[in-house]
Amino acid sequence: MGMTLCETCGDRVVRGVCQNKDCGKGGQIIPPSVHHLGVSILNYYNYSAAKGVLHPTRHMAIERAYRGVFISQPNAPNYEYLRNLGSAASVERANALVRILAGLISKSGGAHASDANLIRLEDINYIREKYNATDNLR
Ligand SMILES: [Zn+2]
């Protein structure tokens, strides 16, 4: 949908202005509710595999999660979670996004259990192709 992302922090740019108030610090501060048992980084950027959520919305969420530069401090409760996502725009990040979606599929009963899982599978393949993920998940 023609959205531009900031070269510095990966957040949205509107009319030439980065929308992240912490951009000057070099990244985005991700709230502690985003962690491995909480909101996933994809959901944080409004990813949803629900019916009716169109490709551009899902792809933009994936792009933002892929390009986001996260500021994580060792004392933050989600420090490890953010660290395990790897650096912005890396193969490690792409693999982490695949893992998140694959984890949701297995939690909800297997690859063909639902329409949502078919959408997640489609997006896993999208991430593999677009960002060259090298994960070995099936
Ligand atoms: Zn920025």
Instruction: Calculate the average pLDDT of the chain.
Output: 92
CA of 59 to the centre of ligand 1 (A): 19
Question: What is the value of pTM for the model shown?
Answer: 0.91
How far is CA 15 from its chain centroid?
24
Rounded to whole angstroms, what are the CA distances from 19 to 3, 46, 59?
12, 16, 19
Under the banding of pLDDT at 50, 70 and 90, the label for residue 138 is low
Residues with CB under 5 A from ligand 1 (ion): 6, 8-9, 11, 18, 20, 23
39-48 pLDDT, tens digit per residue, is: 999 999 999 9
CA of 118 to the centre of ligand 1 (A): 33
Helix boundaries (H) for 33-78: 41-44, 55-67
Consecutive H or E run containing 129: helix 115-131
What is the Rg, in whole angstroms, of the alpha carbon atoms belonging to the chain? 15
Under the banding of pLDDT at 50, 70 and 90, the label for residue 2 is low
CA of 77 to the centre of ligand 1 (A): 23
55-105 pLDDT, tens digit per residue, is: 999 999 999 999 999 998 889 999 999 999 999 999 999 999 999 999 999
